[in-house]
Amino acid sequence: MGAVKNKRMPRAVREQQMLDAAVRTFGQRGYRAASMDEIADLAGVSKPLVYLYLNSKEDLFTACIRREAKALTDAVRAGVRPGIPADRQLWEGLRAFFTHTAENPDGWAVLHLQARTHGEPFAAEVLAMREELVVFVTQLIVVAAREAHRDPSLPEREVAGLAEALVGAAESLAAWANAAPGISAKQAAATLMNFAWSGLGNMMEGRPWSPPPQD
C-alpha cells in the first residue's frame, strides 16, 4: 500500500502524497467510481486526514486538476525555445506535450477524460488550461503567417478553428500514443506536424482547399 504508514510528516509532503494517490485513482477509476477510502488507503493515511487537508472530494479533484494542468503547461512552455522559427517552436511544444502525457498517463487521463465528463465545477478548470494551449498555438500560427510574408489578416475566427483542431488532434493522438504500444512521443509529434503544418503551410501559400460551389 502507498506510502509508509503512521509516520508523522509535514503537511506539504502529506498533501502531495494524497494528490499522487488521488490522481492515480481518479485517472484510473473516474471521479465517481473513485472512493475516498481507496485514495486514503493508497496515500497511506486515514480518511479524516484527507478531509482535514483537502476538505472534500470535489476540492480534492479540483486540486488534482490544477496540479496536473499546471504541470502540463509548465512542461510545454519549458520545452519550447523562444525566438526560433514558429514551426520549430510548434515541433518542440508538441514533443514536450507528448512526452509529458506519456510520462503522466494518470494525470493526462484526469485532464482529458475525467475532468470533462463531470459537471461544471471541473470542466471549467480544464478549459482554462486548454485555453492557454490554444492561445499558444494561435500565436504561433499568426507568427508563422507573418514569417511567410503573408497578408496577416487570416480571419480570426478561422485561426481559432484551426488552433482548436490542432489542439484537439494533439489530445486524441496523446491518448492513441498512450494506448498503442511502441509509439514514441517523437513519432506522435512528427505525425501531427506532418498532418497539421503541411496543411497550414499550404493554406498560407494561398492555396486553401475550397468546398464545391453548390454546397
Shorter beta-carbon distance to its own copies: residue 113 or 142? 113
Shorter beta-carbon distance to DNA: residue 56 or 202? 56
**Candidate list 8, 120, 207, 213; residue touching its own copies; CB under 8 A:** 207
**Candidate list 78, 88, 121, 128; residue touching its own copies; CB under 8 A:** 88
**Candidate list 30, 41, 49, 71; residue touching DNA; CB under 7 A:** 49
Q: Does 77 bind its own copies (CB under 8 A)?
A: no
Are 70 and 26 in contact, with CB atoms under 8 Å apart?
no
Binding to its own copies in span 93-132, by CB under 8 A: 95, 113-114, 116-119
Cell 499558444 belongs to 136
Q: How far apart are CA 145 and CA 139, in angstroms?
A: 10
Are 13 and 49 in contact, with CB atoms under 8 Å apart?
no
Residues whose CB falls within 8 Å of the CB of residue 162, separated by 6 or more in sequence, listed in order: 141, 200
21: amino acid identity, one letter: A
CB of 188 vs its own copies, minimal distance in Å: 8
Among 148, 129, 110, CA closest to 24: 110
Shorter beta-carbon distance to its own copies: residue 60 or 203? 203
Q: Does 157 bind DNA (CB under 7 A)?
A: no
Q: Does 46 bind its own copies (CB under 8 A)?
A: no
Binding to its own copies in span 169-188, by CB under 8 A: 169, 171-173, 175-176, 183, 186-188
CB-based burial of residue 72 (10 Å sphere; 0-12 exposed, 13-18 middle, 19+ buried)? buried
Angle at 134 between CA 130 and CA 159, to 5 degrees: 145
Q: Does 194 bind DNA (CB under 7 A)?
A: no
Residues whose CB falls within 8 Å of the CB of residue 61, separated by 6 or more in sequence, listed in order: 22, 26, 31, 115, 122
Residue 49: contacted member of DNA, its own copies, none (CB under 5 to 8 Å, by partner type): DNA
Among 21, 25, 30, CA closest to 49: 21
Which cell is 145 given? 503567417
Shorter beta-carbon distance to its own copies: residue 17 or 191? 191
Give the interface with DNA as residue ranges (CB under 7 A): 5-11, 14, 33-37, 45-49, 51-52, 56-58
Give the interface with its own copies as residue ranges (CB under 8 A): 29-33, 87-88, 91, 95, 113-114, 116-119, 158, 161-162, 164-169, 171-173, 175-176, 183, 186-188, 190-203, 207-209, 211-212, 215
